[in-house]
Structure 1
Amino acid sequence: MTTADAAGAPGRADDAVGPAEAGLDGTWQRDVRWWDAAFYVIVVLSAVALYTVPLSGTRLTVSLTATGVLLVAYTLWGRRAARTREQGLAHLYLVVLILGTVVVVAQDTLGTLLLFAAFTQVWMLSEHLWAQVLLSVVLAAGTALALAWDPGAGRLVPGTLASTAPQMGVALGFSLGLGLWVAHTMRQAERHARLVDELRATQAELARSHHAAGVAAERERVAQEIHDTLAQGFTSVVMLAQAAGADLERGAPDAARQRLAQVESTARENLAEARALVAATGPAPLQGGGTLVDAVGRLVERFRTETGIAVTARLDDVTGLSSADEVVLLRSAQESLTNVRRHASARSVVVELTQDRAVTRLEVRDDGRGLAPDVTEGYGLRGMRERVAAGGGTVRVGSGPAGGTSVVVQVPVVSTADAHGARAGGAA
C-alpha cells in the first residue's frame, strides 16, 4: 500500500493549545478517551493483519513483540502524557513509537498501518513545532528505509528505496501540511475559547453587578416608601397618643376619645399602606378606583384634624396622569405636609393641585418660620426630588410669597391614551 494517506492529524505548534487551554470548555478529558480508543484499534488491527500474512516465525515474533511494546508504552507513558502534557514523557513515548513502527514496517509492508497512529500522535502529544517537524521527518525517513530493507538478505534494496522514498516524501509533506494547518486551527480555537471564557466571566460579573444594583435600588425604593407612609403614619400615631394623654390629664375624656379614634383611623391607614407595600401595589389611597384629587383631599383633611392647622385646599380635576405620576404627586403632598408638621410651626397651609396643557402642578406653602440659610435637605426631600426626577418632573423649594416655605412639584402631562396604558401596565 502507499503511505501518502497515512499522514497526520490534530497537532500543536509550540504555542498551540494544551489541555488546560483546550479544556477551557471542559471537553478535553472526554475527547482524549477517543484518542485512546483510536490508537488501540489501529494497533490491534495492525497486529491481526500481520498475523494473517505468511511471515516466518522470527519476523512474526519480532512484529508482534514490537506491537506489544507500543501498546505497553502508550498505556504507561502515552496516555499519561496526553492528559498531563508532560513533554519529557511525551517525547520519550514518541521515540519508542517511531522505533517500534519502523521495526514492524521492516518485517512487512502491512506495518505501515501504524503510520496512521504514529503521525497523528506526533502532532497530538508534542507541543513544540521543531520537535513535531523533526519527529515527522525521522518517522518518514525511518519508514522509507524499513520498506527498502530486505530481512532475508539483511540489507537495503536500492531499487525499493528509490520507489518508496517519494511515497514517504508525499506522506511527510501531507503530514506536515495537515499538522501545521490543524495546529493553526487549534490556536484559533484556543483564542476563541479564551474569548468565550472571558465573555462568560464578563456576563457573570455584569449579572452580579446588575443584581447588586437592583437590590440597592429596591432597598432604596422600599426605604422611601416606608419613610413616606409608615414612618409618617407612626409619627401621627405618636403625636395623637400624646395629645390623648394630655386630654386625659386635664380631664377632657371626650377629646381623648376623639384623639383615640384618630389613632385607630391612622393605624388602619398605615396597615393598608403596609399591605400595599408588601403586595408591591400603588398607595392604598389610590387603590379601588380612587382618584388623585380624592386621595389628596383625604390627606389634607387628616392633616387638619391631627394638627389643628388651618388648611386651604384648591384641588382641580386632573387628567392625563399615569399611575406613577399620581404616586409621585401624592407622596410629594405627604412629604410636604409632614415637613410642615415637623418643622414649620405654621398657622395655615395652602395645598393647590392644578393642571394646564403641559404640566400638572402641586404646590404646598405655609406661613411658618421658613427655611434657615444653612439648612440641608433631609432624606424625605431628597427622596422626593429623586422620585419626581425619575418621572421627568421638577421640584422647587423656596420661600413663599408671604413668607414661610413653598414646595412646588411639576410633572409633565401625558396623552390620555398613554395614561390609560400606564394604568393598565400598573394594574398588571
Structure 2
Amino acid sequence: MRTGEQPVAGARGAQPVTGGTPGWFLPGAEERPDDSGAERTEFWRRALAGWDVAFYVLLAISAVSIVTVADTFPPDGATWAALGGLTVLLAAYVLVGRRGAQRGDLRLTRAYLVVLVLVVSLCSGVSTIGSILLFVGFSQVWFFAASLREGVVASVVLAVASCVTIAGGAFASGERPTTGDLVVLAAQMSVGLIFSLALGMWITRVAERSEERAELLERLEATQAALAASHHAAGVVAERERMAQEIHDTLAQGFTSVVMLAQTAQAQIEVGRPEQAADRLAQIEQVARDNLAEARALVAAFGPAALADATLAEALVRLGERFRAETGVQVEVVLADVGDASRDTEVVLLRAAQEALANVRKHAGARRVLLRLQREDGAVALEVLDDGQGLAPGTAEGVGLRGMRDRVAAGGGTLDVAGEPGRGTRVRLAMPLGTRTRDGDGTA
C-alpha cells in the first residue's frame, strides 16, 4: 500500500467505514486507527463484488439496448457517441473508480464521480435509450460518495445535468419540445431523483447499522477477553494465596517443629542426655518425613497427607500425640461421631487444628491442651482450648489465623477466637456438613 492511501472497504486487507461515514470505503483512514474486524471486511468485500456485477450487467444491457433500438444501420453518430460514452465509463470504472475505492483514494473516487455524471448525462441526451444509464449513475453515486452530503449533491447534479442534456438533445434534433414536455421531463427526473435519494439513504443507514453492530461485536469480544484475563489473574492470585496458606499450615509448621526439636536435642547433648537427644532426633526424622509427604501431596494437588490413609478422628489423634511428643504439653483429644462429614470439611477441620496447636507451641506457654470434635445441629464443631497465657487486649491476628478464618468462611462456617491474659485461649470453629469449600478436596 502506498503512503497516504487507506485500506478499502470490500478489498483484501480493507477497512470498512467507521464512525458513521456513509461512503463504502474509508476516507481519511490515515487519521483514525484501524478498528475494523474480519466480519466487516468480509461484508464490504461481498458488497464490492455485488456492485461489480450490477455495474457490468447494467452496462451490457445499456450497450445492447442502444444498438438494437437505433433507427439506422450502420449506427449513426449519436449511437456511436453513446457507445463511446459507455466505453469511457467502463474504462473509468476499472482504472479509476474501483481502484480508488480499493485504495481509499478520495481523489480517484471523486474523479470517477465527475466522469460518471458527465458520461451518463451526455448519453441520456444523445440517445433516449441512454437514459437507462441513470440506474447505473444513481446507484454508483452512493457507492463512491464519501459522505451523505456528497451523495446528495452528486445525485442532484446528475439529475439536473441529465434534464439539461435530454432537453438540449431534443432541441438540437429539431423536435422543439413544448413547456408541457419539459415539465413532464422534470417530473420524471424528480421522481428518479427522489427514488435515488431514498434508496441511497436507506443503503447508507443499512451500512451504518452493520458497522455499528460490528463495532459492538468487537467491543463485546474485547470486553470478554478482558474479563477472561481478569478472571485468570484473579484465579492466579487465589491459587497463590491458597498455596501460601497450605505451605504455612503444613511445611512451615513442620520446619518450625524441626528447628525446635533440633534446639532441644542440642541442649540435651550439652547436658549429657544422649538418650533423650536420640529421641528428639527420631522425632525430627518423623517430622521431616511428614513434611516430605505433605510436599508431595501439594505438588501432586492431593489432599492432606494425614487424611490419605486415615479418618479425621485418627488424624487428630496422631496430631495430638505428635504434639505431645514434640513439646511435652499434655494433649487430651475428645472425639465424637460426626457422621458423614465431607472431605472438604475434614480438610478445613484438620488444618484448623494444626494451626491452633502451632499457635499454642509458639505463643501460649501452655501445659495442657484440649482438642475436642463434636457434632451439633447439622454442623461439625472443633474446639482447641489451652491453659496458657491467653490473649492480650488488641492482639493482632497473624497470617495463620487469618488464613484459618478465610478457609472457614469459604466453607460457610464460623470461627471464634477468645482468651484473656493468664486464662488461656479458646479456638472454636463450626463447619456445615457436606459443604464444598474453595479447597475442594484440599487441592482447589
Specify the SS of the correspondent of 2:392.
Answer: coil
Equivalent residue in structure 2 for 1:330, among 321, 327, 350: 350
> Any unmatched runs of 5+ in structure 1?
1-11
Equivalent residue in structure 1 for 2:60, among 45, 51, 72: 45
> Any unmatched runs of 5+ in structure 2?
1-16, 27-33
Specify the SS of the correspondent of 1:371.
Answer: coil
Distance of 1:249 and 1:57 partners within structure 2: 129
Distance of 2:428 and 2:391 partners within structure 1: 15
Q: Which is worse superposed, 260-269 or 396-405?
A: 396-405
Distance of 1:58 and 1:209 partners within structure 2: 74
Q: After TM superposition, give the deviation of residue 172 of structure 1 in Å.
A: 2.3
- Does residue 313 of structure 1 match 2:333? yes
Q: Which is worse superposed, 381-390 or 195-204?
A: 195-204
Distance of 2:110 and 2:278 partners within structure 1: 98
Q: Which is worse superposed, 52-61 or 147-156?
A: 147-156
Q: After TM superposition, give the deviation of residue 176 of structure 1 in Å.
A: 1.7
Q: Which is worse superposed, 222-231 or 39-48?
A: 39-48
Report matched runs for 1:218-257 at 5 Å: 218-257=239-278
Residue of structure 2 equivalent to 1:411: 431
Residue of structure 1 equivalent to 2:7: none
Residue of structure 2 equivalent to 1:62: 81
TM-score, length-normalised on structure 1? Answer: 0.82
Q: Is the 8 A contact 1:49 1:110 kept in 2?
A: no
1:148-195 Cα deviation digits (max 9, x unpaired): 565895456527766655543433232222222222233333333332
Q: Is the 8 A contact 1:332 1:384 kept in 2?
A: yes
User: CA-atom RMSD, angstroms?
Assistant: 3.4
CA pair 52-23 structure 1, distance change in 2 beyond 3 A = farther
CA pair 41-146 structure 1, distance change in 2 beyond 3 A = same
Q: After TM superposition, give the deviation of residue 269 of structure 1 in Å.
A: 1.7
Residue of structure 2 equivalent to 1:189: 210
Q: How many residues get paired?
A: 408
Sequence identity of aligned pairs in percent?
Answer: 47
CA pair 231-133 structure 1, distance change in 2 beyond 3 A = same
TM-score, length-normalised on structure 2? Answer: 0.80
1:352-375 Cα deviation digits (max 9, x unpaired): 112222432211121222222342
Q: Which is worse superposed, 308-317 or 254-263?
A: 254-263
Distance of 1:56 and 1:22 partners within structure 2: 53
Q: Which is worse superposed, 97-106 or 153-162?
A: 153-162
CA pair 34-226 structure 1, distance change in 2 beyond 3 A = same
Q: Which is worse superposed, 35-44 or 273-282?
A: 35-44
CA pair 291-109 structure 1, distance change in 2 beyond 3 A = farther
1:59-79 Cα deviation digits (max 9, x unpaired): 455334433432343345423
Residue of structure 1 equivalent to 2:410: 390
Q: Which is worse superposed, 385-394 or 369-378?
A: 369-378
- Does residue 344 of structure 1 match 2:359? no
The structure showing larger relative contact order (alpha-carbon pairs under 8 Å, at least 6 residues apart) is: 1
Q: After TM superposition, give the deviation of residue 93 of structure 1 in Å.
A: 2.2
Q: After TM superposition, give the deviation of residue 106 of structure 1 in Å.
A: 3.4
Distance of 1:345 and 1:298 partners within structure 2: 21
Structure number with higher helix proportion: 1
Q: Is the 8 A contact 1:150 1:157 kept in 2?
A: no
